[in-house]
Amino acid sequence: MKAIVVYESYWGNTASVARAIAEGIGSGAQALTTTEATAAVIADADLIVAGSPVIAFSLPNEKMRESIRLKPGKAPTPPDLSHPSLQSWMAGLSKGKGRFAAFETRVKMSPGGATPKIIKGLEEAGYAPIGEAQRFIVKGKFGPLHDGELDRARQWGAELAKDMERS
């Protein structure tokens, strides 16, 4: 099975979760930025797992990214804005026929989320859902991840691989 875990990440929390999910899925899985996950790379993927941080209660859009760039606040490092947003990556997708799963990183107590828009974007591109969308929790506005979240991400990856085998 070929699986691509594609992510948007400014401070590395979502990237770490993406790598843990890919580890959990096992051989044939790769965690890639939106730059690396080109149309050619994902063309024959059986499974796409897509994730992003929740910013301002939702999937980050260009306006939110610009606001983060201009006002990073008390961020521990400058935000990595070098890759396209997941939203624009999804808008550029060609028709796919594989399965998908969605995840987000976020603080515990917040309304909204990113996964509803990720689900919509991938469904519109023709992918069919597998597994339940997941939330991975960070301790502060910029992270780090709560203890145990990377283990949970690995476990979810392994479950997705099993679900794919059964489907």
Ligand X SMILES: Cc1cc2nc3c(=O)[nH]c(=O)nc-3n(C[C@H](O)[C@H](O)[C@H](O)COP(=O)(O)O)c2cc1C
Q: Which stretch binds ligand X (CB under 6 A): 28-36, 38-46, 104-112, 150-158?
A: 104-112
Is position 142 an interface residue for ligand X (rule: CB under 6 A)? yes
Sort 46 into a burial class: Cβ within 10 Å, 0-12 / 13-18 / 19+. Answer: middle
Distance CA 133, CA 49 (A): 10
CB 59, min distance to ligand X, A:
11
Closest separation in Å from C-beta 148 to ligand X: 15
Closer CB to ligand X, 24 or 60, in the complex = 60
**Interface of this chain with ligand X, residues 6 to 65, rule: CB under 6 A:** 9-15, 53-57
Residue 113's alpha-carbon distances to 10, 56, 104, in angstroms, are: 17, 9, 7
Among 19, 65, 99, 106, binds ligand X (CB under 6 A): 106
- The footprint of ligand X on residues 59-98 (CB under 6 A) is 68
| Residue 139, both tokens | 């301790």
Taking alpha carbons only, the member of 93, 112, 95, 92 closest to residue 104 is 112
CA distance 38 to 65: 21
Helix (H, G, I), strand (E, B) or coil at 102: strand
Nearer to ligand X, 118 or 130 (CB): 118
Stretch that binds ligand X, among 22-30, 32-40, 82-90, 106-114 (CB under 6 A): 106-114
Which segment (89-97, 135-143, 147-155, 158-166) binds ligand X by CB under 6 A? Answer: 135-143
Closest CB 18 distance from ligand X, rounded Å:
9
| 45: β partners | none
Pair 149, 106: CB distance under 8 Å: no
Contact footprint for ligand X (CB under 6 A): 9-15, 53-57, 68, 105-107, 110, 138, 141-143
